[in-house]
Amino acid sequence: MNHYESVFILNPVLSDDQVKETVTKIESFLTKNGAEIISVENWGLKKLAYPIQNKQSGFYNLIDFNAPPKIINILEIELKRDERIMRYLNVKLDKYATDWSIKRRERKTKKV
């Protein structure tokens, strides 16, 4: 199993319930296909560097998970099909990035 991070930008016209529903849908898709979700972060509404689909902002979300490599292709197809997702990026983390991710999560929990 490899360690992955998936960041995706949701359409800014969605309500909070629709954003939560979309994130929950992706989480359940991952767990059904054998992934172990480590953390889910909602980064909130942020201004985009350039317009995407004539939108100036979007809801950013990050899912940190362990999964077999075959899931990523299926996940990307699922993300492309969802009209609420404007952009996404899936990254496989190496051991250094995994260590940094753990430190980042620990720092975030200390601030709260």
pLDDT at position 97, please?
83
Q: Note the pLDDT of residue 99.
A: 83
Whole-structure pTM value = 0.87
Question: DSSP strand E in 1-112: where?
Answer: 2-10, 36-52, 55-67, 85-92
Contact 2, 69 (CB under 8 A): yes
Q: Rounded distance, CA 36 to CA 39, Å?
A: 9
Q: What is the pLDDT of residue 112?
A: 60
Q: What superfamily does domain 2-105 belong to in CATH? A: Ribosomal protein S6/Translation elongation factor EF1B (3.30.70.60)
Q: Distance (Å, rounded) from C-alpha 65 to C-alpha 84? A: 21
d(CA 93, CA 74): 18
pLDDT of residue 53: 92
- In tens digits, the chain (112 residues) has pLDDT values of 899 999 999 999 999 999 999 999 999 999 999 999 999 999 999 999 999 999 999 999 999 999 999 999 999 999 999 999 999 999 998 888 888 888 888 877 776 6
